[in-house]
Amino acid sequence: MNRFTLPLLLLVIVMTLTSCSVIKTTFSVIKTTYKTIKGAVKGTVWVVRGTYQLTKETTRLVYHIGKFTFEVVRAPLDYPLTRDDIQTIDGLPVKEAIRQGRVKNAPYTVKGHHYVPMTVSGAQTYAETGLASWYGEETRRQPGGSMTANGELFNPNALTAAHKYLPLPIHVQVTNLENGRSIIVRVNDRGPFPSQNNPDSGKRIIDLSRGAAEQLGFVEQGIAQVRVETIQLESG
């Protein structure tokens, strides 16, 4: 063996080990597609009157942000989900993750696709422009009611929303860029996701309750171009 043979042999061994260590995943990971603008909501502080987080001891609360009133009710665990295509949250069956309180920004799967929500700190400067839609009409036929992805009773008339990547719950300001109307909503659900009939529906950035869509003035047209921005809350 000459002085060139040993280094060449070692190189071959390293390349072989490297090629053998490549592992391909069998599921697709969908990462956040939002655009965060640093400081976009700096200085936008809303005063919240009342407690807005459900605890283990509470089943209902009412609070106010500016002129907007929010009522939050914990849903019974046997209620159906508004999004029954969510398969797991934080690696657990959905209802079990809700029961354990492991929902806020936990990863979750929908029809085999793995969604990774943004961090709580990262969400503080979230701002995005895109299409909004509304949902919930079908839940009126549910006896008793239905449950959002974080365990709240879904009220189609309330000011709530679904988002694929924001922590739950969180509050955002939604502005209809087509008419200038603006409201605050509580994000407490997941979606919108691609549907069989309309795969492009998954490209929408937020799904609003009917009540929110009514206040923004786009119930009849179904979708609208909106601006969504996280708001900062201060107890008052």
**What are the structural domain ranges in the chain?**
25-235
The answer to whether the beta carbons of residues 172 and 187 sit under 8 Å apart is yes
Confidence at residue 195, expressed as pLDDT on a 0 to 100 scale: 85
3-state SS, residue 20? helix
| pLDDT surpassing 50 at residue 215 | yes
The DSSP secondary-structure symbol of 194 reads: -
CATH class of 25-235: mainly beta
Q: Please give the torsion angle defined by the CA atoms of residues 184, 141, 112 and 77, in that order, rounded to the nearest 10 degrees.
A: 80
| pLDDT surpassing 70 at residue 16 | no
Structure tokens at 100: 């354990």
3-state SS, residue 95? helix
CA-based Rg of the chain, rounded to a whole angstrom?
22
Looking at the chain, the whole-number percentage of residues with pLDDT higher than 90 is: 70
Q: What's the one-letter identity of residue 139?
A: T
pLDDT tens per residue, range 91-114: 999 999 999 999 999 999 999 999
**What is this structure's pTM?**
0.82
